[in-house]
Chains A and B, each alone.
Chain A
Amino acid sequence: MNNYEWVSILCVFCYTCLLMTFIPAIGNRMVRSFLGILLAMLLWTGGSYCMRLQLFPSIDFWFHTSILGLFILPYAFLLFIQEYVNHKNRKGNLIWFLLLGVLYVFNVVTEKVIPAPRIEQIGGTQIRFIYDFNWMVSLAFIVFSLVLLHMLGLILIAAKKDKHYRKQLVPIEIGIFIMFLGHVFLLFPLFRGFPTDLLSGFFNAICMIYALSKRKLFRLQLLASRTSCYSITGLIVLFFSYFIVSGIDYFPSSHDKSSSIKIMMVFVFLILISTMIIYQLVKKFLSAIFIREELRKSENLKEFTHSVTKTLNVQEILEQLASVIQQTVKAKNVYICVTDNEGNYTMQHSATSLGYSSFVLTKSHPILSFLKKNDGCISYRRFKRTQSYKSMWEQEKRLFNDWGIEYLLPLKTEEDLVGIVLLSAKGKSEYTHEDIDFLVSISSVSSIAVKNSKLYEKAFEEARRDELTGLFNRKCFFGTLDVLVEKYKDKSLALAILSIDDFTLYNQLYGAKEGDIALQKIARIIESTLGEDGFAARYKGKVFSLIMPEYDIYRAKMTVDKICEQVKDINSTADNYRLKVLTLSGGICGIPYTASNAQELLYNAELSVYNAKRSGKNTIKVYSVSDENTQTDGQSQSSLYNSQAYSEYAPTIYALTAAIDTKDHYTFGHSKNVAYYAAELAKGLHLDSDHVEIIREAGLLHDIGKIGIPEDILNKPGKLTSEEYEIMKGHVENSIGIIKHLPSLDYVIPAVIGHHERYDGRGYPRRIGGEDIPLSARILCIADSFDAMISKRSYKQSMPLERALRIMREESGKQFDPELAPVFIELVESGTIQVIHSELLSISGKN
């Protein structure tokens, strides 16, 4: 060991270990090119070692072998770097190959570039190798430098494009630099005889090990078998044993036998301990460079994929997603936001127990628009450098900062962004490329799973919901009632059934559209009043049911009363003045008070509703046993609009029409005629008697607003000016203004307000058209126009019946409903409708 052969041994040992690690690896071009470096290093250091041991055949042979390794080395490094940075253009390689080859051959022949070392005897047996360089050695340095520069150029170009390269290759660059210096130092007399070149080779090996294990230069596939581990450990132990055994010689030979055994035992113990330590270190190194970690990740991914395909519960998927990310990537925290029905992204899961359920990214949020445009796992730092970040609110920035968000992972299916995963920092370490790859893979799996489960949940929810009101439907109601009764049978539970009064009429008066709006408004009131405490469903068309767990009868009645109060106010706003006031009739029953099971509860509540309807509507009845006896066969259901009821209002109507009569005699006769024609047409359309009666009353009252028109306009002979006509048109609004103060007559409002509307939408006052005009108004329009045409006025003669009917035909679909006008004409022509030829009572009559 006198000629510094230990330096060679160290080098040979390191490169052998590395080679053993790589040889069983699944080869690709990059691994092979790295193997090339290792082989060249072994050739160089091994050759040097053999030379220093002065092995067979000769020093000269081993010297040239070593130099061959040295000449191959820059070329091998160049090939590896080209492979690593994926540099395709390798035309220049041939030049380097030839240059290095020629130089080597020249050196073999002449030994002028790097001359063979001179052996110098120092002391007795000790020798050392002395190199005597001349200027020719600079040729080798120049060529090596040029190759290295080429290599560095490639690294720089690649690092500009991707910073990853720069970081990864720094240890390799340092290793090369050290080796270059090591060779330069050979030229200095200070290091004469000391193999600085080989020592630098050792440092290069350290750099390589660092690059492979810490910087993850590249990963080797499926190699971390225990065999490799054993082999390397064995090699190292052998190496140490060699030194230790030779160390025994240093102990004095005078020791007795027992001492020798003790010494031997100590050595054996040391070898054992060092074997264990070395085994662990080698294992750690191997696991660092082999893809065991990736295997774990892919197993986690596989497991996750498998488990999320088995569930359709969004929450469950999100929990699993957060868990797999935390386990695999070791993110401190994971926050997941998922799109809701409004298109906002609400936080539905966070890995912390604190929970941030109130956190919402509104649909116009800049993060969303950014993620919609960008794919993959995106660093928050990158987002912060975009223009989208400019529109983030300060409190949002602070929140993201507090959460330590580092990455944004969109959950996308095709173009749909179904959710976002916000990932906080990993602690001390940073996210690696492998982490990002894993996150991207997991996002594609989970986005599909989340989307499917959302669709399923939506479909499931829709199946339970009433489409119009958004409340639960009848089927769901029955199911829930059974469950809740069973659950609360030992406590208390109240059931209320609420039915809208005269809702069929409401629909007929204002049309189905208004009816639907009313249903929706009532549903919202029920929902908001009941809150989270109860369960509301649309039980039948106009009937709602409310299940109120843990409510007693008193509390249930209070709640229902509140609902009724709010429902009454629905049409009290200025916008809805023309609509009839809505009221509810309801029945309440509760367990254990007046029922003991679900069936009885429902039956009793329904019976109470029936009683409420019978007792004049607009009331809430609480079920009691006596109600049972009041049940009849259902024949005596009251009607507000039968002829008997009408007679109650007749005096009011006549009083009002008489009031206009004093101002404009014509109007009263006209109103009576219109009432007749309209009622006959309604009969002809087979409307029910209530409806016919309403239309008759509407006919009588339709011009009541003319009371408010100045007499000079009302009775003006000749054509009205446009200003006067505008005032005249105001009689419709005036009519409503009068009638709305008579709640008992409010049902005629739709007909009155709409009788000057035209089917083609060009009428007044609301310029509505088609089916949007209430049916009663369309009927009144025909009756009103017909009477106006066939009546005699001061400024015109009465129109012949045929002409009036022809005009009606022509105007069908324009002014008149195309389905009603032919019916009316037919009724007139068949004589069902008797034509009344009024006498001129007044000189007024612009209508």
Chain B
Amino acid sequence: MKFEEKLNEGNKQEIWDEYCGFLDLSMEDYMTIQKRLLLEQIDLWSKSRLGQKFLKEKTVSDIEDFRNTIPITTYRDYSDVLLQKNKDMLPQDPVLWIQTTWEGGTNPVKVAPYTKSMLETYKKNMMACFLLSTSEKKGDFDISAKDHILYALAPLPFATGILPVLLKEEIDIKFLPPVEEAQNLSFSERNKKGFKLGLKQGIEFFFGLGSVTYYVSKSFASLSGGGQKGGSLKQTLTGVSLDRLLKYVKTQRNCKKNGTSMAPKDLFQLKGFMCAGTDNQYYKDDLEDLWGIRPMELFAGTEPTIIGTETWTRSGMYFFPDACFYEFIPDDEMEKSLADPSYQPKTLLMDEVVPGEKYEIVLTVLKGGAFVRYRVGDMYRCVGKTNKEDETFIPRFQYVDRIPTIIDIAGFTRITETSIETAMDLSGLNIQNWVARKEYLDEKRPLLHIFVEMHKDSMVTTGMSQQIIKEHLSIYFRYLDHDYKDLNIILGMDPLKITLVKHGTFEQFETEGDSFSRKVNPPLSEMNHFLRILSGIREDRRFK
């Protein structure tokens, strides 16, 4: 039965229990679902040729055995099978292949198979997110087939492209602009069209990457500004209902008077607002200002599918019990394994996490998925094991960031040590030493900060300002990484910051007995030491 039919039956409580009832599970019941589905997955996976590739004729009898036998995996372990889309080797036949960039991989993209049952689960969990995004309390939701959703998603074969397809199977919510049309429009055209249609039909839902939703929302101001130029205003407002038209005119006048720009909240009243991806915490406040409603964060990815959502309290994400089997690598174990790739970190299960602790997540995709004990590269902090406000008894988490070896900018691009080194090599810059970390501009916008030490000789022979290095590297980042390029094209961001350090800084750092355990996001203690040396040198210079 479609969601829309259930909605027509009118029993809201039944709908809530079906989709959002996982929030009422006890820890024991939650783990029962997790473990039973994992046993199913072990059964399917170990019988497949992919499973046999890992098991090498060994058998796995139970969950403990599975955790002891199978090492933590990365995409590299699957690439030979998945990149060739070798479906005969998979636990179940995929009906869809989803694609994303493979950061620091041997191939530009990585693909993930989706089975029919994975999509069924995806659909149910996605509907739960829709319900929760409109709820103000337990059991309360407001969703209708007459609603409209503003389109801010990448189409298939990217993960976000699944949403319109699955949503259509459940409820006839209309996308603004319609999906087929949106796919042929440029980013800015799509936004303009979306808002124009929104003025006529209304916008009740908005969903996208935190960064993208922010820039789409910002583009609303330019749309309203564009209206002033004459011709298009008439075009835009044709067919708009009288009350919205009056509201538009009134708001426009007020904005003109106050010298401010129009915000979406002035015209639209969203029922549900959802965002996914990284760095959302830095956009949420601004988005709330723009729309008058705080976005609800959820977590979905190419390999894991949709796995977690916040609730009406917006106080942490809960993981769906039937999407993946979750394991958590404690922070110290993660650091050990990053320092020594042969080290097998210990993992905890959902009922073993400790509030306040930071974990790297390890997933086994259920329902015939390919990935087992897969290191997706994301970090979460457990913020509580129960919640009075939500009346829950299962742990909830906050997304922290990618693991330290990856710098993710606004959910668009993932920069690794390899990608920085490749860009530096191609640039021809005579860089002797460098270290990079993710920082936030005004504690709001993410950026990639590279501390660069040039080779002594090149400083004499080449003009080498921070700006020149930045531009050089930016060009090659854009050349190498399409996502980085999109960051610039779509969001207008140039997230690179270069600090040229004095020659000898790295040497001094090492002389003082320290060394960077990794060049990207090194541990805080190492970075602080480095920065102390950096500032010390400057002070010395001042005193001289």
B17 and A385 form a contact (CB under 8 A): yes
Q: Any chain B CB within 8 A of the CB of A386? A: yes
Take A163-B9, A394-B117, A394-B368 as given contacts and tell me if A386 and B18 are in contact as well, using a CB distance cutoff of 8 Å.
yes
Per DSSP, are chain B's interface residues mostly helix, strand or loop, or mixed?
helix
Q: Which of B30-38, B49-57, B70-78, B341-349 contacts A (4 or more CB under 8 A)?
A: B30-38
Residues of B within 8 A of A391 (CB): 32-33, 36-37, 321-322
Point out the residues of chain B lying under 8 angstroms from A160, CB to CB. 10
- Complex CA–CA separation, A564 to B13 (angstroms): 66
Q: Are B22 and A390 in contact (CB under 8 A)?
A: yes
Docked-complex contact B40 and A394, CB < 8 angstroms:
yes
B14 in the interface (beta carbon within 8 A):
yes
Contact flag A387-B22 (CB < 8 Å), given A366-B36, A393-B40, A394-B367: yes
Cβ contact within 8 Å between A385 and B36: no
Interface size class of A (residues with CB under 8 A): 10 to 19
Q: List the A residue with the shortest CB-CB distance to B321.
A: A390
Looking at the assembled complex, report how far the CB atom of A266 sits from the nearest CB atom of chain B, in whole angstroms. Answer: 56
Q: 8 Å CB contacts to B: which residues of A580-600?
A: none
Q: How distant is A73 from chain B, measured CB to nearest CB, in Å?
A: 30
Residues of chain B with a CB closer than 8 A to A387's CB: 17, 21-22, 24-25, 29, 33, 321
Taking the complex as formed, is A352 at the interface, i.e. its CB lies under 8 A from any CB of chain B? Answer: no
A394 neighbours in B (Cβ, 8 Å): 40, 117, 367-368
In B33-66, which residues have CB < 8 Å from any A CB? 33, 36-37, 40
B273 to A: closest C-beta gap in Å: 26
Are B367 and A385 closer than 8 Å at their CB atoms? no
**Is A246 engaged at the interface, CB distance under 8 Å to the other chain?**
no
Query: Which residues of A sit under 8 angstroms from B37, Cβ to Cβ?
Result: 390-391, 393
In the complex, residue of chain A having the shortest beta-carbon distance to the beta carbon of B15: A385
What residue of chain A has the Cβ atom nearest to residue B116's Cβ?
Answer: A394
A364 within 8 A of B: yes
Within 8 A of A (CB), among B312-363: 321-322
Q: Which residues of B contact A385 (CB under 8 A)?
A: 14, 17-18
Q: How far is the CB of A611 from chain B (nearest CB, A)?
A: 46
Q: B176-212: which have CB < 8 Å to A?
A: none
Residues 357-387 of A at the B interface (beta carbon under 8 Å): 364, 366, 369, 381, 385-387
Interface string of B245-262 (1 = CB under 8 A from A): 000000000000000000
Q: How far is the CA of A364 from the CA of B62 in the complex (A)?
A: 14
> Taking A163-B9, A385-B14, A385-B17 as contacts, is the C-beta distance between A390 and B322 under 8 angstroms?
yes
Of A366, A381, A386, A393, which one neighbours B21 at CB under 8 angstroms? A386
Q: Establish whether residues B33 and A390, one from each chain, have CB atoms under 8 Å apart when the complex forms.
A: yes
Q: In the complex, what residue of chain A is closest to B6 when comparing beta carbons?
A: A385
Interface residues of A in 144-187 (CB under 8 A from B): 160, 163
Complex: how many Å from CA A134 to CA B11? 46
A393 CA to B14 CA, complexed, in Å: 23
Q: Which of A163, A364, A386, A390 contacts B17 (CB 8 A)?
A: A386
Residues of B within 8 Å of A381, CB to CB, are: 1
**Given A386-B17, A390-B322, A364 and B25 touching (CB < 8 A)?**
no
- Measured in the bound complex, the distance between the Cα atoms of B29 and A387 in whole Å is 9
| Minimum C-beta distance from B199 to chain A (A) | 36
In the bound assembly, the distance between CA atoms of A394 and B43 in angstroms comes to 12
When C-beta atoms are compared, the residue in chain A nearest to B367 turns out to be A394
Q: Are B9 and A364 in contact (CB under 8 A)?
A: no
Most chain B beta-carbon neighbours within 10 Å: one of A160, A163, A369, A394:
A394
Once bound together, how far apart are the Cα atoms of A381 and B11, in whole Å?
14
* Chain A residues whose C-beta falls within 8 Å of the C-beta of B25 in the assembled complex: 387
State the Cβ distance, A388 to closest chain B Cβ, in Å.
8
A394–B32 Cα distance when bound, in Å, is 16
Q: Which residues of B contact A163 (CB under 8 A)?
A: 9, 11
Residues in chain B near residue A366, CB distance under 8 A: 32-33, 36
B36 lies within 8 A of A364 (CB)? yes
Complex: A385 Cα to B368 Cα, angstroms: 22
In the assembled complex, how far is the CB of residue A624 from the closest CB belonging to chain B, in whole angstroms?
A: 49
Contact (A364, B367) CB under 8 Å given A387-B22, A394-B117: no
Which residues does chain B contribute within 8 Å of A364, judged by CB atoms?
A: 32, 36
Please name all residues of chain A whose beta carbon is closer than 8 Å to the beta carbon of B18 when the two chains form the complex.
385-386
Closest chain-B Cβ to A753's Cβ sits at a distance in Å of 32
Q: Which residues of A sit under 8 angstroms from B40, Cβ to Cβ?
A: 393-394
Question: Min CB distance, B139 to chain A, in Å?
Answer: 15
How does the 8 Å CB contact mask read for A475-509 relative to B, with 1 for contact and 0 for none?
Answer: 00000000000000000000000000000000000
* CA of A364 to CA of B24, assembled, Å: 20
Contact with B along A522-545 (1 / 0, CB 8 A): 000000000000000000000000
Q: Return the chain A residue nearest B18 by Cβ.
A: A385
Interface centre among A160, A163, A387 (most CB of B within 10 A): A387
Which residues of A have CB within 8 Å of B21? 386-387
* B111-125 near A? 1/0 per residue, CB < 8 Å: 000000100000000
The complex places the Cα of A160 from the Cα of B11 at a distance, in Å, of: 8
Q: Mark A375-414, 1 if CB is under 8 A from B, else 0.
A: 0000001000111001101100000000000000000000
Q: How far is it, in angstroms, between the C-alpha of A387 and the C-alpha of B40 when the chains are bound? A: 17
* List of A residues within 8 angstroms of B10 by Cβ: 160
B55 nearest CB across to chain A (Å)? 20
Nearest-neighbour CB distance to chain A for B101, whole angstroms, equals: 31
- Chain B residues near A390: list those with CB within 8 A: 22, 33, 37, 321-322
CA distance A369 to B26 in the complex (A): 14
CB of B309, distance to nearest CB on chain A (Å): 15
The interface residues of chain B lying within 8 Å CB-to-CB of A393 are 36-37, 40
**Interfacial residues of chain A within 392-439, with CB under 8 A of chain B in the complex:** 393-394
* Nearest CB of chain B from residue A389's CB, rounded to whole Å: 9
Which residue of chain B has its CB nearest to the CB of A390?
B322
**Whole-angstrom distance between the alpha carbons of A394 and B36 in the complex?**
11
> Which residues of A are found within 8 Å of B367, using beta-carbon distances?
394
Q: Which residues of B contact A369 (CB under 8 A)?
A: 32
Instruction: Report the nearest A residue to B43, measured CB to CB.
Output: A393
Interchain nearest-CB distance for A268 vs B (Å): 56
Say how far A169's CB is from chain B's closest CB, in angstroms: 16
- Cα A394 to Cα B33 in complex, Å, equals 13
Q: What separation, in Å, do the CA atoms of A366 and B22 have in the docked complex?
A: 14
CA distance A381 to B1 in the complex (A): 10
A395 CB to nearest B CB, Å: 8
Report the separation of the CA atoms of residues A390 and B10 in the bound assembly, to the nearest whole angstrom: 23
What A residues does B24 contact at CB under 8 A? 387
Q: Which residue of A lies closest to B117 (CB)?
A: A394
Residue of A nearest to B121 (CB): A390
Shortest distance in angstroms between A164's beta carbon and chain B's nearest beta carbon? 13
B22 and chain A: residue at smallest CB distance: A387
* Residues on A with beta carbons closer than 8 Å to the beta carbon of B322: 390-391
The docked-state distance in angstroms from the alpha carbon of A381 to that of B18 is 11
How many angstroms between the C-alpha atoms of A16 and B10 in the bound complex?
A: 39
A590–B154 alpha-carbon span in the complex (Å):
81
Residues of A within 8 A of B14 (CB): 385
Q: Within the complex, what minimum Cβ distance (angstroms) separates B20 from chain A?
A: 10
- Nearest-neighbor residue (CB-CB) of B92 within chain A: A394
Chain A CB within 10 Å, residue with most, of B9, B18, B25: B18
How distant is A152 from chain B, measured CB to nearest CB, in Å? 16
B12 to chain A, nearest CB (A): 10
Interface residues of A in 185-232 (CB under 8 A from B): none
Chain A residues, CB < 8 A from B117? 394
Spell out B's residues near A (CB within 8 Å): 1, 9-11, 14, 17-18, 21-22, 24-25, 29, 32-33, 36-37, 40, 117, 321-322, 367-368
- Taking A366-B33, A387-B22, A393-B40 as known contacts, 10 extra A-B pairs with beta carbons closer than 8 A to each other, sorted by chain A number, are A385-B14, A385-B17, A386-B17, A387-B21, A387-B33, A390-B33, A391-B32, A391-B36, A391-B321, A394-B117
Q: List 26 A-B contacts (CB under 8 A).
A: A160-B10, A163-B9, A163-B11, A364-B32, A364-B36, A366-B32, A369-B32, A385-B14, A385-B18, A386-B17, A386-B18, A386-B21, A387-B17, A387-B24, A387-B25, A387-B321, A390-B22, A390-B321, A390-B322, A391-B32, A391-B33, A391-B322, A393-B37, A393-B40, A394-B40, A394-B117
In the A-B complex, the 6 residue pairs with the closest CB atoms: A385-B18, A391-B33, A391-B36, A390-B322, A393-B40, A387-B21
